[in-house]
């Protein structure tokens, strides 16, 4: 089983990073959307991995810290919580914010995660409360975040406009893949966009905005 990876980021496809190791092998690793902004194309990265082997596929999920991976592993042990919902939780919440939501029993905040209904959120709170204390993840660092709500300029240069359109479309697609409605994704992307933002930066800013509601 693969437990970690170090290599150069070759590119992204929605929420999946293609990482090439020194032996020339490229691995497709799904990462939380909140971490996309920290991964840069042509730069080296290190991720802790959770490796899932199925009859029809082998899936890799990458995390910035061991605590995030540990939380992911505990989440997928819960009844009705698969890897996609667990990744959506880690995409919407920082580690400390999720711990706070569990301890304060903020059901509505957890329901905001795509694919999580009220009954599921209530079960997550009940079952994760003791797990969080045992895992000792309450002191994990909170990733840096970007702030601000910005508008797309009405008359950007043609080249910049074309690049911006592609980045915004990629960001919208990523949000939809997490379970957000397309109209909600489009509105949020337009609200947070500013010139020069990559698709990954747009996704991070959009998730931060969505998590405020």
| Tens digit of each residue's pLDDT (9 = 90 or more) over 52-99 | 998 888 999 999 999 999 999 999 999 889 998 999 999 888 888 899
3-state secondary structure of 153: coil
| Annotated domain spans of the chain | 4-63, 67-135, 158-210
What is the predicted pLDDT for the residue at 29?
Answer: 96
Instruction: Show Cβ contacts of residue 55 under 8 Å, excluding neighbours closer than 6 positions.
Output: none
For the domain 158-210, what is the CATH code?
1.10.8.10
Name the CATH superfamily housing domain 4-63.
Nucleic acid-binding proteins (2.40.50.140)
Say if residue 143's pLDDT is above 50.
no
More confident residue, 35 or 123: 123
The total of other beta-carbon atoms located within 10 Å of residue 202's CB is 26
Instruction: Show Cβ contacts of residue 97 under 8 Å, excluding neighbours closer than 6 positions.
Output: 142, 211
End-to-end Cα, the chain, rounded Å: 39
- Burial of 139 per CB tally in 10 Å (0-12, 13-18, 19+): exposed
Give mean pLDDT, residues 126-140: 73
Low-confidence winner among 57-61, 100-104, 145-149 (lowest mean pLDDT): 145-149
Band of residue 162 on the pLDDT scale cut at 50, 70, 90: low
For the domain 67-135, what is the CATH code?
1.10.150.20
């Amino acid at each position: 089983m693969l437990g970690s990876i170090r290599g150069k980021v070759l590119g992204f496809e929605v929420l999946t990073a293609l990482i090439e190791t020194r032996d020339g092998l490229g691995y497709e690793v799904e990462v939380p959307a909140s971490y996309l902004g920290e991964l840069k194309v042509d730069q080296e990265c290190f991720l802790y991995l959770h490796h899932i082997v199925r009859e029809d596929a082998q899936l890799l999920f990458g995390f910035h810290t061991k605590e995030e991976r540990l939380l992911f592993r505990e989440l997928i042990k819960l009844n009705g919580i698969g890897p996609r919902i667990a990744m959506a939780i880690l995409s919407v919440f920082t580690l400390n914010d999720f711990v706070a939501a569990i301890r304060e029993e903020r059901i509505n905040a957890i329901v905001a995660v795509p694919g999580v209904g009220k009954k599921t959120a209530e079960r997550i709170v009940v079952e994760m409360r003791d797990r969080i204390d045992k895992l000792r993840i309450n002191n994990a660092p909170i990733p840096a975040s970007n702030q601000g709500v910005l508008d797309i300029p009405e008359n950007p240069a043609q080249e910049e406009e074309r690049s911006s359109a592609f980045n915004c479309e990629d960001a919208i697609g990523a949000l939809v893949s997490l379970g957000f409605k397309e109209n909600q994704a489009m509105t949020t992307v337009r609200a947070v966009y500013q010139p020069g933002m990559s698709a990954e930066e747009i996704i991070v800013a959009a998730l931060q905005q969505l998590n405020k509601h």
